[in-house]
Structure 1
Amino acid sequence: MSSRTLVWISGASSGVGAALADAVPYPDARVIDLSRRGGRTTEHLKVDLSDPADWVRVEQHFVAELAGFDGDRVVFIHNAGTITPIGPADAVDASAYTRAVLLNSAAPQVLGSAFLRASSQLSCERHLVMLSSGAAKTAYAGWSSYNAGKAAVEQWVRTVGAEQSGCRVIAVAPGVVDTPMQSEIRATPATAFPAVARFQALKQTGALVGPAVAAAGIWSLLDRELESGTCLDLRDLDPGR
C-alpha cells in the first residue's frame, strides 16, 4: 500500500532537520531528505541547495512524486541554511558569502514556489513550513547574510500566505537550539561576531533547546489553528493549546 503522507525535509542530515525526520508524527509517512550528505531518513535526494542548478532538480522531483498522488497530506519543511561565513560583509570570503545568500535567501523562495506549483492540483492537506530565526528581527553584527535571509523568508511567507487558499504556508523560529550551527557560533572570535559571549552563556547556563524538543514543537503546528502567512516563534506559543 502506498504512503498516505509524503514529507520532504531539507537539510535533514543533522541538527533540527535530523530531529524533524526522526519525529514525523505520521506512522505511514514517506520521508525524503533534500541535502548534500543525507541523514537518517529512508530516502535521500542528494542536492546542493546553494546551487541554482539543483533547484531545478528539486522541482522536477516534486513534480514527478506528486503526479497522481492521492494520499491524505503532503508536507515540505524547508530547514536548510547556513551561518557561514560569520564576520563583517566587507571582510568575509566572497564566494562563501554568495553561497550563503543563495542558500538562505533565494533557495527558500524558489523551492517554496516549486512545491506550491507541483502540489497545486492536489485536494489533500498541503503544508509548507519555513524555518526562521530570531535573527529575522534582530540585526546581529557579523550575520548579515543569515539575518537578511531569515527576514526574507518571513516576508515571503506573509506574502505567499495571503495568496494561498489550498496550502497553509507558515514560518517558525524554533528558539536557540543546541545544534552544530550553535557550536560554530560559539567558536567564533568576538572580532567577527561581537555577540558571541551571549551565545556562549546560553550553552553554559543550559538555556539551549534540544533538537528533539524543537522538532516536536514544529510538528505540533500542523494541528494548530494557524492562518496561512503566520510567522511565529515557538517560545511565544501557549503549550496548552
Structure 2
Amino acid sequence: MSSLVWISGASAGIGAALVAAVPYADARVIDVSRRGGGPAEHLKADLSDPADWARVERHFQEELAGYDGDRVVFIHNAGTITPIGPAAGVDGAEYTRAVLLNSAAPQVLGRAFLQATAGLTCERHLVMLSSGAARTAYAGWSSYNAGKAAVEHWVRTVGAEQETRDGCRVIAVAPGVVDTAMQTEIRATSEQDFPTVGRFHQLKETGALSTPAEAAAGIWSLLERELPNGACIDLRNL
C-alpha cells in the first residue's frame, strides 16, 4: 500500500518523533515547518503567516490531484506556548502570532486538506494535536488554551460533517505532558507570569513526563482504532 503523509512542525519534539515512527513502510512523508532538517521532505512554511497558508493549500491541491494511492494523512502538530503571561501584559505581536498559529491555522489548513481530499476514495485521516489546556483554564496561557479549545470544537463539528463510510476520519488528540522544548520553556517561566509553574516542575522532578517517542506511538495507534468521527482523545485516558 502507498501512503502520503504530512506532519506540520516536524523539525523537533513530537513532530520529529511522529516522522521517525511513521508505521507505513512505503510512506512519502512531508514536514510542513519553518526549519525542516529531519529525514522527511520539507515544505517550508511559517504557519503563523496567512500568506503561507495559501501556499500549503496549493501544495495539497497539486499533490492530491489525481492521487491513486491507498492512504493520505495530515497530522497538524505545529503550535506555540509563547507568549506566556497575562493577556494584558504580553507582547502584542507575539500574541497575534500565537492566535494565528494556535487558533486560525488548524482550521484553515484542516479545511484545505479536507477540500483537497474530498474527491478521493482512499483511506483519509486528519489528526489535530490538542492538549489538556483545551479544557483547563491555565492563567498565563490564554492564547494556547483558547487555540486548543477551538481545535477540539472544530474537530467535533467537522467530524459530524463527514459521510459515515466515505468521509475523512477527523480526530483531535491530547498527548499528555511530553518532555519537549515547550516544557522547558514552561518551567523557565516565572510564577508571576504562570502561577501553576510549580506543578510542571514537579512533573519533571518525579519523572511523570512522557517522551516524544511514546506520544508519537500513541498518536499513530489511534489511526487503527474504531473511533467515532470528531472524537477528541486524551492519550492518558486510553
Question: Same fold by TM (over 0.5)?
Answer: yes
Alpha-carbon distance between aligned partners in 1 of 2:40 and 2:152, rounded to the nearest angstrom:
30
- 1:2-28 CA-to-partner distances (Å, cap 9, x unmatched) read x81000000001110000010000000
Given that 1:5 and 1:74 are in contact with CA atoms closer than 8 Å, whether structure 2 keeps it comes out as yes
- 1:78-131 CA-to-partner distances (Å, cap 9, x unmatched) read 000000000000000000000000000000000000000001100000000000
TM-score (normalised: structure 1) = 0.97
Match of 2:75 in 1: 77
Aligned partner of 2:171: which letter?
I
Matches within 5 A, 1:86-165: 86-165=84-163
- 1:30-57 CA-to-partner distances (Å, cap 9, x unmatched) read 0000000004133000000000000000
Given that 1:32 and 1:41 are in contact with CA atoms closer than 8 Å, whether structure 2 keeps it comes out as no
Aligned partner of 2:169: which letter?
R
Given that 2:6 and 2:32 are in contact with CA atoms closer than 8 Å, whether structure 1 keeps it comes out as yes
Alpha-carbon distance between aligned partners in 1 of 2:53 and 2:155, rounded to the nearest angstrom:
19
Matches within 5 A, 1:44-55: 44-55=42-53
Match of 2:66 in 1: 68
Match of 1:41 in 2: 39
Q: Which structure 2 residue ranges, 5 or more long, are not aligned?
A: none
Secondary structure of residue in 1 paired with 2:229: coil
Given that 2:80 and 2:98 are in contact with CA atoms closer than 8 Å, whether structure 1 keeps it comes out as yes
Given that 1:14 and 1:39 are in contact with CA atoms closer than 8 Å, whether structure 2 keeps it comes out as no
Matches within 5 A, 1:190-209: 190-209=191-210
Alpha-carbon distance between aligned partners in 1 of 2:179 and 2:210, rounded to the nearest angstrom:
6
Deviation at 1:136, TM superposition (A): 0.1
Aligned partner of 1:141: which letter?
A
Match of 1:177 in 2: 178
Secondary structure of residue in 2 paired with 1:13: coil
Secondary structure of residue in 1 paired with 2:60: helix
Is the counterpart of residue 168 in structure 1 residue 166 in structure 2?
A: no
Alpha-carbon distance between aligned partners in 2 of 1:180 and 1:34, rounded to the nearest angstrom:
18
Secondary structure of residue in 2 paired with 1:157: helix
Number of residue equivalences: 235
Alpha-carbon distance between aligned partners in 1 of 2:87 and 2:137, rounded to the nearest angstrom:
13
Secondary structure of residue in 2 paired with 1:191: coil
Match of 2:19 in 1: 21
Alpha-carbon distance between aligned partners in 2 of 1:107 and 1:84, rounded to the nearest angstrom:
16
Alpha-carbon distance between aligned partners in 2 of 1:17 and 1:161, rounded to the nearest angstrom:
23
Aligned partner of 2:198: which letter?
A
Deviation at 1:140, TM superposition (A): 0.2
Secondary structure of residue in 2 paired with 1:153: helix
Is the counterpart of residue 6 in structure 1 residue 7 in structure 2?
A: no
Secondary structure of residue in 1 paired with 2:223: helix
Shifted more, 41-50 versus 207-216: the winner is: 41-50
Alpha-carbon distance between aligned partners in 2 of 1:22 and 1:170, rounded to the nearest angstrom:
21
Alpha-carbon distance between aligned partners in 2 of 1:126 and 1:187, rounded to the nearest angstrom:
39
Aligned partner of 1:38: which letter?
G
Once superposed, which parts of structure 1, at least 4 consecutive aligned residues long, lie more than 2 Å away?
Answer: none
Alpha-carbon distance between aligned partners in 2 of 1:42 and 1:24, rounded to the nearest angstrom:
11
Aligned partner of 2:108: which letter?
V
